[in-house]
Amino acid sequence: MKIEILGCSGSVARGFNTTSILVNDTLLIDAGSAASVLPDERLSKIDDILITHSHIDHIKELPFIADSIFTNKNKGINIWASSTTIDVLEVNVFNGLIWPDIRQLELKGESLIRFKELSLKDFYIGNISITPIPVDHMMGSLGFLLNEDDKYVLFSGDTGYTKGLFDVVKSLGARLKVFFVEASFPDRMLDTAVISKHLTPSIVGKSLGENIPKDTRVILYHIKPRFLEEIVANLPEKMEYIKGGEAFDI
């Protein structure tokens, strides 16, 4: 599984891009920055986009991705999300006021954007099995567990402490190769993190305990740029962080 971190920051700042993670060239997790990072020829390869939730830093470039694809007369894209997130996108973004209702446009007899409502059942995109995991952020928020060739990678999405998420980590054992988990705030801002339903490095560390196999990488992301140095200083032992531009071959 090839994973490219196009952006992974919890806010916009010079030199930092919001969340867009490209998997195997054709699958995008969140649409915070892909159109700003990728050239048109690479954007045109994207077939499917998983949206964790509808906050603007995770959807802001979705219209521009669609615009690039339509301009290049290539193909439509599938947008996978919870029913709540799809409702938000339909009512508040692709509504003719914020952005044209480009669902009415067609390419090769199909809609440019095809919304796909997710249940909590496993499904496949190509060779990758995907399990949506409900998390405690805004209504309809999801994390995603990806499995290719019995190698698992887990993306928390934006979330506060969610027992079910950490239970998945513990249940997979050594089959979990990477756990990308958000840490938006430093430890000193614990109250803010709890109120806004985000995590800090210490919450992640305490939630995982001693149960992580030595070969499972725990990588913090969605760090707010202004707190980057503090959060790095708060990192529990053996945990890593990313800030965008990294690539992984799982």
Res 71: pLDDT: 76
Cα 197 to Cα 30, 40, 87: the distances in Å are 18, 35, 21
pLDDT one-digit tens code per residue, 34-80: 999 999 999 989 999 999 999 999 999 999 998 887 777 667 899 99
The dihedrals phi and psi of 177, each to the nearest 5 degrees, come to -85, -40
**Quick one: average pLDDT of 86-102?**
89
Q: How far does the chain reach from its first CA to its final CA, in angstroms? A: 5
Token code pair at residue 60: 């802001």
Sort 142 into a burial class: Cβ within 10 Å, 0-12 / 13-18 / 19+. Answer: buried
Looking up tokens 């509808």 gives 54
Residue pair 76/105 in contact (Cβ under 8 Å)? The answer is no
The total number of structural domains that make up the chain: 1
Q: Which domain holds residue 19?
A: 2-249
Model confidence pLDDT, tens digit, residues 202-225 = 999 999 987 777 889 999 999 999
CATH code at position 99: 3.60.15.10
Strand, coil or helix: what is 68?
Answer: helix
> Which backbone phi and psi does 47 adopt, to 5 degrees?
-105, -30
